[in-house]
Amino acid sequence: MANQQNGNSKDPKKQQLEEYTEESTGQFLTTNQGVKVNDDQNTLKAGDRGPSLLEDFIMREKITHFDHERIPERIVHARDSAAHGVFKVYDNKMSKYTRAAFLTNSSLETPVFVRFSTVAGSRGSTDLARDVRGFAVKFYTDEGNFDLVGNNMPVFFIQDAIKFPDLVHAVKPEPNNEMPQAASAHDTFWDFISLMPESAHMIMWLMSDRAIPRSYRMMEGFGVHTFRLVNAKGVSTFVKFHWKPLLGVHAVAWDEAQKISGKDPDFHRRDLWEAIESGHFPEYELGVQLVPEEDEHKFEFDLLDPTKIIPEELVPVQRIGKMTLNRNPDNFFAETEQAAFHPGHIVPGIDFTNDPLLQGRLFSYTDTQLIRLGGPNFHEIPINRTVAPMHNNQRDGFMRQEINRGRTSYQPNSLGGGCPFQAKMVEGGYNSFSERVDAHKVRGRSKSFFDHFSQATLFYNSQSGAEKAHLEDALSFELGKVQTVEVRQRMVGILTQIDVGLATKVADALGLQVPARPEHPVNHSIPADGNPQDFQPVKVKSSITASTALSMANTLKDTIRSRKVAILAADGVNAANVEAMRSALLAAGAVGEIIAPKLGTVEGDTGKELPVKNSFLTAASVLYDAVYLPGGTAALAGNGDALHFLNEAYRHCKPIAIDADALDVRRSTWFGEGETPGVFTGNAIGKLAESFMEGMKQHRFWEREKMGKVPA
């Protein structure tokens, strides 16, 4: 009212806020101190393939600010689930390559804590977002903690850590309206990606079914970067780390993932927790790809490029040990939420390379934990404490728990008897690998990093027909959510560099034209004074046209352990067949749960009461791996919820078993009668159970997708 009386109709609060409003249109990029930035694309390095330099004030300011943007939630990997377990190496053969005891001494059993996560969403987001999954393992070794901080995809979006804040800002909810949550299907993400051709390979992984895993127990893990192993003689071997799940690598359908997000956003959390509680302990084998130092430059890609894999046809993965997750956390916050991982937590026998993404992470993770966990003593939180003895001259700070005796907190000293002593290498002291570095300080990127498309093409060519179709649909879905046509068109141009057929299918779904000839996208990872011709992407002809390891169609399909089967029932159900099927499933390690029109019990044909696990109101087909319809369930032929349950399971290509005397119900479904892949019928319960369980080992019958969509 006062403003109106004074003739000033402007909102005073809005006016106050406008004084702090920043508009960057038409402006030069600067540091927070107002210094104009010449190169925002590359970290300062000792040579274009050399280590990143601590003096890079631009990179440090940018990442420090980024690391402290959210309090206290993690900026990325906020949505998580975790478990305790153990790791044991199979034999002592790795001593040829490393002196790390937990990798060379088969008599040791090393405790581990594993944290799985999604990347983009907040703590309250769904488990089933299309996203990268974090796969971080903390080894509590006798020589100190080693953190293998990886993902379920072996490559990453960017090549240099200085671009990480840009990537995450692009994929996070847009800052003007804080939407969408936990989704990459929006303009800012694809605007960034379409201008960064180095992301092409990672986009193929992200748009594949790898981005919507069935379970944390059924996804691979990768260290992403090339690390070094160093043996007792100081000899270095390049290494890439892999986790191979013993249940195989499996995914859900995209339509299914979206529905699970509504039915149970804790689906992966619940799955991991319940599996461990029921004794179905997740198991993963640790694999390594080893490359001798002298072979560093023999490949058509650069080992230091985090957007590249080493195809297993060139360097096989050697499985050297097994990790078993056998205990759930006692307290989510104290353990899962306070766990502090860091790729810089290493032990003697393991070292870094000059991968510029890894080099930036070595700075960023400690910086992040300082703000998240309140100060420099985050290592004293129980979940982070090393099991190895800890003695040093670090003192004080927020939340200090260690009570240090004595008067000396410096080194060297004589008043404390020189303690704590430095350890010689033979006494277990850490020695960094002696790598020769002789180069100029530059902001640049090695030209060996400029091939952005050959491995993206390799990944696409390695997929099965169903996987290719899912990838094409994913790109069409994501880009279909983008409102800016120019961004969509740029992405079609990028896709022509990967596969023209793929680009054509996506363009058609978007109502766009494919360029008459493949476009050569501009590389935006260049400094302001750089010559664009010197930074053009190149496409190297790959010596591998397809890799079997890249397709989930080639995964293990020999078990149904811990799979969940919905048994649809109603009063009058054939109780003997229900019990026989449940017994057969239980013997194979799977679980059969009765779903009925209401909770309580159903009365079997012999009068026996069978307990109901869920009703059609509280359960859904998307929460189960397979469905069994026993005889004596004719009443379900007129139950819309039961028919929807069956139709939806069929649409998502799941195994379905139907007793011969339940065919009236089947005739009421969309898929009706006749031979259908993955739908098993029979009279003899033993034989039906056997064929059904063999079908469950296949996980899905994706060929059904070619037969038309179910209206479910």
Is 68 assigned a catalytic role? Answer: no
Mean pLDDT over 218-236 rounds to 98
HEC string of 598-631? CCEEEEECCCCEEEECEECCCCCHHHCCEEEECC
Name which of 53-67, 123-137, 183-197, 528-542 the model is least confident about.
Answer: 528-542
Q: Tell me what the mean pLDDT of segment 168-192 comes to.
A: 97
CA triple 177-75-197, angle to 5 deg: 80
pTM of this prediction? 0.92
Q: Provide the pLDDT confidence category of residue 27 given band limits of 50, 70 and 90.
A: confident
Owner of token pair 């939420």: 337
Residue from 77, 84, 470, 652 carrying the catalytic annotation: 77
pLDDT of 14 strictly over 70: no
The residue to which tokens 């779903």 are assigned: 595
In this prediction, residues 165-182 reach a mean pLDDT of 97
Q: Which residue has the tokens 């009365």?
A: 603
Per-residue pLDDT averaged across 664-673, rounded? 92
Query: If phi over 0 gives left and psi between -120 and 50 gives alpha, with beta otherwise, what is residue 163?
Result: alpha
pLDDT band at residue 34, thresholds of 50, 70 and 90? Answer: confident
Q: What is the pLDDT of residue 710?
A: 65
Confidence of residue 4 (pLDDT cuts 50, 70, 90): very low
Is the pLDDT at 657 greater than 90? The verdict is yes
Residues 6+ apart with CB under 8 A from 611: 594, 600, 601
Active-site choice (42, 145, 151, 354):
151
Which residue bears the tokens 């101190």?
Answer: 33
User: What tokens were used for 554?
Assistant: 């080639």
Cα separation, 76 vs 94, whole angstroms: 34
Question: What pLDDT is attached to residue 301?
Answer: 97
pLDDT for 368 equals 92
Give the C-alpha distances (Å, rounded to integers) separating 104 from 108, 194, 273.
Answer: 9, 45, 31
pLDDT tens digits for 385-414?
A: 999 988 988 899 888 888 989 999 988 989
Q: Using a pLDDT cut of 70, give the percent of the chain over it.
A: 96
Give the per-residue pLDDT at 454: 97
Query: Mean per-residue pLDDT for 150-169?
Result: 98
Band of residue 71 on the pLDDT scale cut at 50, 70, 90:
low
List of residues 6+ apart from 699 with CB closer than 8 A: 214, 248, 250, 557, 625
Map residue 367 onto helix, strand or coil.
helix
486-536 pLDDT, tens digit each: 999 999 999 999 999 999 999 999 999 998 776 666 666 677 787 777 778
**Confidence band of 1 (pLDDT split at 50, 70, 90):** very low
**pLDDT for 288:** 98
Helix axes 164-171, 57-67, angle to 10 degrees: 30
Find residue 112's DSSP bridge partners: 85, 139
* Nearest alpha-carbon partner for 456 in 202, 224, 220: 202
What is the structure's pLDDT at 13?
57
Residue 712's pLDDT is: 57
Q: Name the helix (H) or strand (E) containing 103.
A: helix 101-104
Rounded Cα distance, 154 and 303, in Å: 13
Average pLDDT over residues 235-256: 98
- Per-residue pLDDT, 67: 85
pLDDT for 8 equals: 46
Catalytic, 32? Answer no
E-strand stretches of 634-674: 656-659
Q: Interhelix angle for 164-171 vs 187-194, to 10°?
A: 140
Mean pLDDT of 401-430: 90
Overall average pLDDT of the 411-429 stretch:
90
Task: Output the pLDDT for position 523.
Answer: 63
Instruction: Report the distance separating Cα 82 and Cα 201, nearest Å.
Output: 28
> Residue 633: pLDDT above 80?
yes
Which ranges in 405-499 belong to alpha helices (H)? 454-462, 465-480, 485-498
pLDDT over threshold 50, residue 278: yes
What DSSP assignment string belongs to 556-589? Answer: --S--TT-EEEEE--TTB-HHHHHHHHHHHHHTT
According to the model, what pLDDT value does residue 98 have? 98
* End-to-end Cα distance, the chain: 57
Predicted confidence at residue 522, as pLDDT, reads 63
The CA angle 149-151-156, to the nearest 5 degrees, is: 105
Q: What is the pLDDT of residue 389?
A: 87
Q: What are the C-alpha distances in Å from 337 to residues 215, 223, 331, 356, 367?
A: 20, 21, 9, 28, 17
- Joined together, the tokens standing for residue 471 give 């990838």
> Rounded to whole angstroms, what are the CA distances from 296 to 146, 154, 299, 438, 595?
25, 19, 7, 17, 57
Instruction: Assess contact for 61 and 35: CB atoms under 8 A.
Output: no
Predicted local confidence at residue 3, as pLDDT: 41
Place of tokens 């799979």: 563
- The mean pLDDT of the chain is 93
Identify which of 510-524, 535-549, 647-661 has the greatest average pLDDT.
647-661
Residue type for position 587: A
| pLDDT at residue number 87 | 97
pLDDT at 629 over 50: yes
